Amino acid sequence: MFLNMCNRLSIILMNIFHVVKPQGWLYLATTNPLRPWEIHYKVPFAHYLPNKIFHWLMKKTGKYQEDINLQTSWQIKSLCKAFTRIDSISESICQYPGRYRLHIQPWLEYLLGNRPKAIYKCGHRFLLTFIFMFQKNVLSQT
């Protein structure tokens, strides 16, 4: 599922929460709207505008494909409050790509793995994609 294509995201996430088993996990990835370059329409900065104005502008310039509703990481986290555990793994994937079966040159993996985690936290806004793991607790309401 592509979250940026969903118009009623809160309802969709609520339904997903109901079907996830107790102690089950939800893996969720979404495009980072904080990057200066919007990757769907390939235009810089226009996606910082309110959605209606952004879509109108894309229609006027002939680039419109479909409505895109980009969510920041804190918006995603607030929409998924029903889950008892929320882990952002984007930074970990960048720091340790080999653990996630990403094949890169050994020298680059060494270089990435020997940087302080704070560098990845600060660079969070420039990541292409936000990747989260949400866990549902046994005691959560269904």
Encode pLDDT of 25-68 as tens digits.
Answer: 988 888 888 888 887 888 899 888 988 899 999 999 999 888 88
63 found inside a domain: no
26 found inside a domain: yes
49 found inside a domain: no
Domain that holds residue 76: 3-33+70-135
56 found inside a domain: no
Catalogue the long-range contacts made by 71-75 (C-beta closer than 8 Å, 24 or more residues apart). Answer: 71/3, 71/4, 71/9, 71/30, 71/33, 72/33, 72/34, 73/32, 73/124, 73/130, 73/132
Note the pLDDT tens digit of each residue in 88-130.
888 888 888 888 878 888 998 888 888 887 777 777 667 778 8
142 found inside a domain: no
50 found inside a domain: no
Q: How far is it, in rounded angstroms, from Cα 95 to Cα 111?
A: 9
17 found inside a domain: yes
51 found inside a domain: no
Report the number of distinct structural domains present in the chain: 1
